[in-house]
Structure 1
Amino acid sequence: MPSSLSMSRNLKSGSTLLLVAGALALSACASKAPKELPPEPGPARTTTQPDSGEALGPRPGSQADFAAQMMGDDTIYFDTDKYDIDAMDQQALAKQAQWLMTYPEKRATIEGHADERGTREYNLALGERRANSAKNYLISLGVAASRLTTLSYGKERPVALGSNEQAWAQNRRAVTVTID
């Protein structure tokens, strides 16, 4: 029967042998640096080329096209408690009418808005008068009345929050939105 001393030596030499074998196995798996590195990544490339007839930008006649063509002239602004069309509004509405005449199948809704001051009922009525003023001017420029509807939001949909003249001025408006 082996002595405890010889068993201890065998365990140590076995453990050492296992440790060396494990280290050799790991070093064999370790990746080595390639002799030549791959090239740096360049700009992304697409594998398909767009058709030459494919349009870039919004689809002609769409709401996105209308907004892009108007460049802010889809909205007209009013003075406090007013709904009359001034010279700046006339220019914006003329631009809208020109676009609508280009796309005679398109319909539009004119949304009337007011600032936060006044009662809900007063502002709904004022928003309606503003929308109707814009609609009537578009009709006077040749847009068929049957293509235009109006809607008043009164003070319910402000674009600018705040209780100051700057915010109020931005909220006193009529916005033309085309219907797709």
Structure 2
Amino acid sequence: MPSLHKLFCRLVELTSSLRLGGIQNCILLFPISIVLIACNKNQLPEYWLCKGNTQQESFLSNGDLQSVFSGKDQMLIEKYERVITQYVSKPFTGVYQVCLSNDTELIFKMGSCDSSEIKKDDWNTAGKLNKKTLQLQMTEESLRANILIKGSGQFTCQYLGNKFPSTIFYVHEEI
């Protein structure tokens, strides 16, 4: 399939052959270029709505478990080019870098994909979405004031394509 740039250049050639004036060419080409850009799905974000369980544990410096929090959550994942943004789930809210994206999986991480070191006061958060089974696994670790915080989440996702319903931002009693 030809690129949008090639299609647009071909349209310019065709309209030039019509011997229209410069302004008529612009009037004709502008709406066509908008339609071509809108039809390029590679330029649109993709969305997944995920629901599942999360758990967060905090450990003292001697390794003793200090506290555990768990619950049900939903996440909205947006993939746009090489960036993942997660809006809805409080435990995993943030902007991530895409480390791997292919037909079967999407792997993303907050910060550098190459680093696995836990730096003090930083979050080491990552996600792995199996695009075939629509299962998402999230993990996070942080070292804060000599307390190690570990979190995880297991989610089942629904692929939404290039748009999502605004109702996902409403507070739901049951997830």
TM-score by length of 1: 0.23
Q: Which has the higher contact order (CA 8 A, sep 6+)?
A: 1
Normalised by the length of structure 2, the TM-score is 0.24
Q: Which has the larger radius of gyration?
A: 1
Which structure: greater strand fraction?
2
